[in-house]
Amino acid sequence: MTTVGFLYPGYSAEDDYPRLESLLGGDIRLPLVHTDIGEDAHRADALLEMGSAARLAAGAAELRKHGAEAVVWACTSASFVFGWEGAGQQVRELAATAGAPASSTSFAFARAARAIGAERVAVAATYPEDVAAYFAAFLKAAGIEVVSTRGSGIITAAEVGTWGENEVLHLARTGDHPDAQAVLLPDTALHTAAHLPALESAIGKPVLTANQVTAWEGLRLTGRTVGAPRLGQLFAAR
């Protein structure tokens, strides 16, 4: 049995994780602990507080009870907003508190893009444009070329969590770019685990989504490689 623990901010699309667990097979557990988000706002100051060491430490202590072999901060915006170096410090502190290897969704996107051979990507974000720009800058720091960035102007994770398949498909289609080798949807508040086959079929190229890459990153930290065709081309990559 492999156990990967996740710290998830608030309540929006946390039900993606039981779905991911079921699609990954019976010997993988993905326990999730909710962290206090403070103000629900896709705004830099609120995101810096959401991803603060104190908030993550409280959740990490709870995850230790689950025997997690690795821990991932399941939030993109409240990791990339710290910048490449700051996000690195964030996960180092999380690893020390959790007593296990740690990462975050932002680093998961960078590593997942490399795993599928995507050097040029399009970002299709739910966030306001200024917050989406932080993510593009983070990817550029990882050596990934961002050929286009689209923000949707949504302020709260609560609103993002209400989106269904039609909205998710529209986001991916309008955020795609002909030069992009993959499309990235960076919000863990967005339900995507059930839509990955439809997304990749509609776009005709790999689509990386926040909860998908977060699960993949956690498994990577444990050394597990799992084939799961219903979770997109990322889970077919070796």
pLDDT at 237 (0 to 100): 59
Q: Quick one: pLDDT band at residue 235, thresholds 50, 70, 90?
A: very high
Alpha-carbon gap, residue 133 to 119, rounded angstroms? 18
pLDDT at 25 (0 to 100): 85
pLDDT at 26 (0 to 100): 82
Provide mean pLDDT across the span 4-33. Answer: 95
- Contacts of residue 183, defined as CB under 8 A and 6 or more positions apart, other chains included, come to 121, 122, 123, 124, 172, 175, 176, 199, 203, 205, 206, 207, 208
Going by C-alpha positions, the residue among 222, 196, 210 that lies closest to residue 5 is 222
- For residue 166, the enclosing domain spans 2-236
CB atoms < 10 A from the CB of 119, how many? 12
What residues are paired with 185 via a beta bridge?
209
Residue indicated by tokens 């492999």: 2
Alpha-carbon gap, residue 134 to 125, rounded angstroms? 11
Coil, strand or helix at 98: helix
* pLDDT tens digits, one per residue of 42-64: 999 999 999 999 999 989 988 88
pLDDT of 109 strictly over 60: yes
- List alpha helices for the chain, DSSP H: 16-24, 44-50, 53-63, 77-80, 83-98, 105-115, 129-141, 157-160, 165-175, 196-203, 210-222
CATH of the domain at 26: 3.40.50.12500
Lowest mean pLDDT among 107-111, 215-219, 233-237: 233-237
Alpha-carbon gap, residue 47 to 57, rounded angstroms? 16
pLDDT of 112 strictly over 60: yes
- As for how many domains the chain has, the answer is 1
Contact between residue 160 and residue 16 where contact means Cβ atoms under 8 Å apart: no
Coil, strand or helix at 7: strand
* pLDDT tens digits, one per residue of 121-154: 999 999 999 999 999 999 999 999 999 999 999 9
Cα Dmax for the chain: 46
Provide mean pLDDT across the span 15-39. Answer: 94
CB atoms < 10 A from the CB of 92, how many? 11
